[in-house]
Structure formats: C-alpha cells, structure tokens
Amino acid sequence: MNTTTDGLSLPNTPYTSRAVYLTPSNGFGTQLPKVPAHIFITERDQAFNSSTGTAIINLDLSDKLKTEYPATTPNLLARYVRVKAGETQCLNLTSAGEVYYLLEGAGSIAKGEDLINWVEGDSVCLPGGDKTVITAKDTDCVIYSVTDEPALSWHGAESPATKSGPIEAVHYPGDEVMRLLSDVQQRETKEEMTGRFVLFTNAGAQVTKTVTRTIGLAINSLEPGGIQTPHRHNSAALTLCLGGSDVYSMIEGEKVQWQRHAVMVTPPAELHAHHNEGEDMMLSLVAQDGGLFYNARAIGFSFD
C-alpha cells in the first residue's frame, strides 16, 4: 500500500507503480539530443560504387539522436538503394508513406497491384505497408528514398493497410517536372522566395500540399550567383544535391559545402540560406517532415 501525506492508504497495483510525477523543480528539464547538421559522403560513395552490388544503405544518425531505431531525423529515414542490372531488391518497411527518386539507371518499382516503369530523374510516391519491389533493367540502378519510419517507430505503430490508407501510388516523370521548373525559372517576380521550385503533392495529401501525410517534397533551383533568403522552419530538411558547382549552405553561421548526390541535413528551426557561386544552375531534391507541422499549425516559417 502507498500512503498519502495526510495518512490515507492507496492501493499499490501494477498500474499505479507505472505512474511518474514531475513538479516545477524537474518538470521542464526535457533535453533531447539536437538534430545535427550533417552531410552523408561515405554513404553516397558506397551507393555509387559498382562493387557494392545490390544493397540498402541507410543514412542513419540514430547514434547522435539517441533513438533505438534507424533515423536520419526524428521523423524521417533516408536511404540509398543500389540494384544491380537484372536484379531485384525488396523492401518491407513500416511506414505510412514512401518517396523514391531514381538517381541512375532504369527499371520498375512495384507495390501490390501497382507497377511503375521509371527512368533517371523520375520520382514515385507509394503508400506504406506491403513490399516495395525495385527491379533494375539493363544497367545498375541507384535510388534515393525517404520514409516516415522513425515517426511510426516512435509511436510503436504499424503501417496502415495499403488499400485503405490516404496515399495511393503516384508517378512524377522527371521530364514533366523539369518542364514545369523551367517555366518557374523564367517567371519574373519581385516576391521574396526561398527558391524557384516545383512542389509535389496528390489527392491524398493536398490539404497540406505535401507528397505524403508526413513528407513534403520539392525540386528546388537557384540560378548562378543566386542567394536564397535566410529563413527557418520547424520541419527538418533533407537536401539531395542534383546539380551545380560551388554551392553551399550557411546553417546558423556554419558553412556546409554541397556535393553532388550527397544528402545534407538542415536541423529544425535553425537559420539557413543557400548560395550558388558556381556557373551552373543549382538543382536539389528537398524532403521535409512538414506534413506533421502543417497539421499541427506549427510550421514556424519565417525570414530572418
């Protein structure tokens, strides 16, 4: 039995034994590890090395985030997938939605009854649950992927049923994306922007203008000599460099040099800007966990 301060006895049960109480002296001391600014070079090199063979290469910062599961940010897990010519790679992920971008090669990606043939530069959004099967045709394929596996792991949740979830399979052909981006780049505007971009969405996530209920996805660009206005947002960002030379980011005063096909982590709420001091257009694929923050009405975007 437990005894209260006024002498009353309380039953001691397995349920009461789990109770933990905090007071003003210790109730505001939560200190989770910060999301570090980081760029994944070793993993990029492994993914583009032909001797690697068919492999899955997680971009895992769980040691720094102190999570018990792989995570690139608290809500997102990114990875490279390499598939040798003529081979197949199966992924069985616990996620609510999956995003894939084909960096190199050609082949197909399938889940359940959905089969999409794709080429370099194409993006695909798939629902979570069930197996995702990636097949390479005549040449090796290198794929970049982002999912919300850590968000589900945090809750101890399972993937929604593929057919009953809000997200359906969507194909975003690279040629169409680049045509739209070219139109955006040629448009004259005096509006302050964080870049000239094409944002991906679909009927299952259109309210928050994201590609899944969790993940925001966009192809971003910056002209030679251009500087994106310093800004911040509560969502973490994963930036995959697709093109450009002498491009770098300033994140809270620290310089991070971009490298082609490497992924950079921009921590949530930190002030950052992108600079293109090269002679070529900067192109990047940016994934954020923005859907969660838009739904919470807490995206916190601001120019500083």
Strand 302-303: give its sheet, edge to edge: 254-257, 247-251, 272-276, 231-232, 302-303
Question: With b meaning 16 or more CB within 10 Å and e meaning fewer, what string describes 276-298?
Answer: bebeebbbbbbbbbbbbbbeeee
Looking at the predicted structure, is the pLDDT value of residue 17 above 90? no
Domains of the chain: 38-303 (2.60.120.10)
Per-residue pLDDT tens over the stretch 69-112: 999 999 999 999 999 999 999 999 999 999 999 999 999 999 99
Other C-beta atoms lying within 10 Å of the C-beta of residue 254: 10
Q: Which two tokens stand for residue 42?
A: 């070793």
Q: How many residues does the chain have?
A: 304
Q: What is the pLDDT of residue 146?
A: 98
Q: What is the pLDDT of residue 26?
A: 79
Q: What is the pLDDT of residue 217?
A: 98
Per-residue pLDDT tens over the stretch 139-166: 999 999 999 999 999 999 999 876 777 8
Report which DSSP code applies to 194. Answer: S
Q: What is the pLDDT of residue 198?
A: 97
